[in-house]
Amino acid sequence: MADADSSQNDLFKEAPTPEATPPAPPEPFHPLHTEHGPLKNLVDFNFLQYASYVICDRAIPSIEDGLKPVQRRILHALKEKDDGRFIKVANVVGHTMQYHPHGDASIADALVTLTNKRYLIEGQGNFGNIYTGDRAAASRYIECRLTPLAREEIFNKALTEWIPSYDGRNQEPVHLPCKLPLMLMLGADGIAVGLSTAILPHNFIELLQAQIEILREKKRTPFELNLLPDFQTGGLMDVSEYNKGNGKIKLRGRIEPRKNNRVVITELPHGVNTEALISSIEEAVKKKKVPIRAIDDFTAEKVEIEITLTQGSDQEKAIEALYAFTKCETSITSRLICLRNNRPIELNVDDVLRENTRQLLDILERELQLKKENLLDEFHHKTLVQIFIENRLYKEIEQCKTYEAVQQAVLNGLAPFADQLKRPVIADDIEMLLGVRIKRISLFDIEKNRKDIDAILLNLEEVEKHLNSLKSYATRYLKNLIKTYKEIYPRKTELTGFEQVEVRELTATELQIRQDENGYIGTAVKGEVLLECSSLDKLLIVFGNGRYQVLPPPEKLFIDNQLNRCEVYDREKTFTAVYTEKSIAYIKRFQLGGAIMNRDYFIGASEKSKLMLLAEGTPEALYVKYKPVKNQRIHQQRFNPADTPIKGVKARGNRLSSKGIKYIDSQPGRWWDKSDDGDIPDGVLL
């Protein structure tokens, strides 16, 4: 029994657990390959939404109408309030805020910018000055209105597609039905997420002329447009690297020489105002880059900066210095990125203008179709009224007892005259006839109505003609615009080519390096002139012990009267040097090569070497006079440096001699004994 109990107890004993295996170490986190949680998905989604909004709804213009959203909303608000008179800018800004989900400051700034571009908005009051950089007055003090060009060419309510505004209370246009190449006319700058655009403004008349050429070109004939920027500030322009809107241009202000040693700046490069230009000139004067004595700014409606040069200065060289060292010359990079079908795309100027021309044809065709429909409706209504009154159809409804019977009576009365109409009679037509007043019937002038109908038919014929020859119609439309606005918008920026100003040549004698008796050299030292150089140059200064440095022209540098050489640094220049080390003389030819500024280098093999000769290039010969020693048979020798190969400056030279050298030079001095010339063999370099 005891055995049974023990065996039963063994059944309930816990089985031995296997030894637990340690958990695997977590894999290292990798930002690209490790799976992320929901927070990353949320951030990715929000960032994509933000990037799309900035690109499509703020920074980048659309090719369809050439406008950014804020510009489009400003123009739409102006059109809604337009009555031909000036409107307070503050009122326009407030009205625009119904459509634009940003503050009033951004709207006011965009409106001022559009006004200063002249084409679309006319301003009254202080809208700032594009020449001086002065800001516009507060929006409550200035007024604006649409220009005739904008009023007539960029709006058509019937052709506009509408969407709800940001708060759903109003309707705003997706794009304006613009017939002008606005994006190239106005230019645009914008920075979005991951991309930016820089579109330069072009001349309005030249764009229209290029569109005429596009309409006339044949598909099989290759045709290159020559569209170049034009700026309100004028100036000179080099477009050799413009690359159809995806390159860069160089701009210069116009500088004219005048009497009494003066020059006058009359036009500015784009993007530079008079304040920034004068600051750059003053900075150049402080650095002694340009010889100027006085600057007077008389700019108001036109640019006029009068510069008086120092006495004896050359006007042509002074103008070159202004271009080289001030903002009288600038460069602008252009990159044409815009939205097409609400997606960013990179194009060139030719592509954009061809797209604008295609849109022009499309809008003109839609306008003609709309005009045709309106003329047909007008013809239909006038014809129906004439038939209704002339044939006294209104008499047939006198006996009708129900409204349906009245309608049917009018319809039956019009049936015999169906051939005079251009479309079937509908219920709305009958309602229109039943609404004709008795007074109108009694005063109806049949002859006048017939003349009106004839005029409508002539207009219809003309519209049909335009639709059948749409390109010719578009060409006449563009020519009419050119005729109207040619005198108002002439080209202001002159096309030219710039010769590169050689700055080093211009400033070759800008600085003088002098040496005084106290062991100093530099531009601020009074003493003997060592050399003239440019502030752009680097100087090579070699000390008596063979140590040398490459450094910019110093104002004041202590050399302790141990100067061996001071000249403009040229890394390709070849030198011949003789130095001694441990009583042995070595010779080497070398090029300096590259050097770190203000760092010590040594011509000899080490700091303990002593420099005995440093000559430029390769001398024809070296003449060596040895120190007198007892029982010495050779007292002087002539060596040929050309036997030495050119090495680096750090390399050890060839052994010249183990004898002590008293004199050494590339020319025989008075110490050279000419009587020994034929008896002593030339030295051998080892």
pLDDT in tens, 409-438: 888 888 888 888 888 888 888 888 887 776
396 located within any domain? yes
Tens of pLDDT, residues 508-529:
667 888 888 888 888 888 888 8
409 located within any domain? yes
**Per-residue confidence band for 135, with pLDDT thresholds at 50, 70 and 90:** very high
* AA letter at 346: E
67/60 Cα distance (integer angstroms): 8
pLDDT of residue 543: 86
pLDDT of residue 679: 64
> Both 599 and 526 in a single domain?
no
Tokens of 464: 């049909």
Tens of pLDDT, residues 28-49:
766 666 666 677 677 777 667 7
Tens of pLDDT, residues 82-100:
999 999 999 999 999 999 9
Beta carbons of 95 and 81 less than 8 angstroms apart: yes
pLDDT of residue 439: 62
Beta carbons of 522 and 555 less than 8 angstroms apart: yes
∠ CA 77-189-280, nearest 5°, is 120
Beta carbons of 529 and 539 less than 8 angstroms apart: no
Residue 594 pLDDT greater than 90, yes or no: no
> Both 479 and 374 in a single domain?
yes
496 located within any domain? no
> Both 611 and 523 in a single domain?
no
Residue 610 pLDDT greater than 80, yes or no: yes
Tokens of 267: 């036009």
> Both 554 and 584 in a single domain?
no
Residue 398 pLDDT greater than 50, yes or no: yes
pLDDT of residue 519: 85
> Both 389 and 479 in a single domain?
yes
pLDDT of residue 307: 95
Tens of pLDDT, residues 172-199:
999 999 999 999 999 999 887 778 899 9
> Both 672 and 583 in a single domain?
yes
For position 261, which CATH number holds?
Answer: 3.30.1360.40
517/229 Cα distance (integer angstroms): 59
**Per-residue confidence band for 21, with pLDDT thresholds at 50, 70 and 90:** low
245-249, 317-321, 467-471, 602-606: the lowest-pLDDT one: 602-606
Q: Tokens 């044809």 sit at which residue?
A: 361
pLDDT of residue 249: 93
Tens of pLDDT, residues 197-209:
999 999 999 999 9
212 located within any domain? no
**Per-residue confidence band for 50, with pLDDT thresholds at 50, 70 and 90:** low
For position 86, which CATH number holds?
Answer: 3.90.199.10
Residue 269 pLDDT greater than 80, yes or no: yes
> Both 683 and 574 in a single domain?
yes
> Both 315 and 410 in a single domain?
no
pLDDT of residue 410: 83
Q: Which of 265, 254, 257 is nearest to 231 (CA)?
A: 254
77/104 Cα distance (integer angstroms): 14
80 located within any domain? yes
Query: How buried is residue 211: exposed, middle or buried, by Cβ count under 10 Å (0-12/13-18/19+)?
Result: buried
187 located within any domain? no
73 located within any domain? yes
pLDDT of residue 8: 46
**Distances in Å between the alpha carbon of 262 and those of 254, 284, 309?**
14, 17, 6
Residue 552: which domain range? 508-541+548-567
Residue 574 pLDDT greater than 60, yes or no: yes
φ and ψ at 533, to 5 degrees? Answer: -150, 175
**Per-residue confidence band for 686, with pLDDT thresholds at 50, 70 and 90:** low
Q: Which of 413, 412, 406, 408 is nearest to 388 (CA)?
A: 413
Residue 561 pLDDT greater than 80, yes or no: no
501 located within any domain? no
312 or 294, which is more confident:
294
pLDDT of residue 38: 76
Residue 634 pLDDT greater than 50, yes or no: yes
φ and ψ at 629, to 5 degrees? Answer: -135, 145
> Both 478 and 529 in a single domain?
no
φ and ψ at 330, to 5 degrees? Answer: -135, 170
> Both 580 and 682 in a single domain?
yes
Last residue of a domain, one of 135, 153, 175: 175
Total Cβ atoms within 10 A of residue 630: 4
Beta carbons of 548 and 602 less than 8 angstroms apart: yes
33-37, 237-241, 325-329, 673-677: the lowest-pLDDT one: 33-37
From the centroid of its chain, how far is CA 562? 53
Average per-residue pLDDT for the chain: 86
**Per-residue confidence band for 603, with pLDDT thresholds at 50, 70 and 90:** confident
Query: How buried is residue 536: exposed, middle or buried, by Cβ count under 10 Å (0-12/13-18/19+)?
Result: middle
Last residue of a domain, one of 175, 208, 243: 175
The pTM score is 0.75
565/77 Cα distance (integer angstroms): 75
Active site residue 141: yes
Tens of pLDDT, residues 59-81:
889 999 999 999 999 999 999 99
132 or 565, which is more confident:
132
> Both 563 and 582 in a single domain?
no
pLDDT of residue 372: 93
566 or 680, which is more confident:
566
Q: Which of 566, 567, 562 is nearest to 545 (CA)?
A: 562
Beta carbons of 474 and 361 less than 8 angstroms apart: yes
**Per-residue confidence band for 17, with pLDDT thresholds at 50, 70 and 90:** low
pLDDT of residue 287: 82
Residue 5 pLDDT greater than 60, yes or no: no
Tens of pLDDT, residues 614-625:
888 888 888 888
φ and ψ at 401, to 5 degrees? Answer: -100, -20
Half-sphere exposure of 131 (CA within 13 A, CB side): 18
| Count of domains observed in the chain | 5
Residue 662 pLDDT greater than 80, yes or no: yes
352 or 532, which is more confident:
352
85/143 Cα distance (integer angstroms): 9
Strand partners, 339: 62, 344
Residue 640 pLDDT greater than 50, yes or no: yes
Top-ranked range on mean pLDDT: pick from 20-24, 432-436, 549-553: 549-553
Q: Tokens 């008349």 sit at which residue?
A: 205
> Both 532 and 479 in a single domain?
no
Query: How buried is residue 378: exposed, middle or buried, by Cβ count under 10 Å (0-12/13-18/19+)?
Result: middle
pLDDT of residue 4: 46
| Annotated catalytic residue, options 141, 485, 489, 569 | 141
For position 397, which CATH number holds?
Answer: 1.10.268
73/70 Cα distance (integer angstroms): 5
Beta carbons of 513 and 557 less than 8 angstroms apart: no
Residue 127 pLDDT greater than 60, yes or no: yes
Helix 89-96 / helix 69-81 crossing angle, nearest 10 deg: 120
pLDDT of residue 7: 46
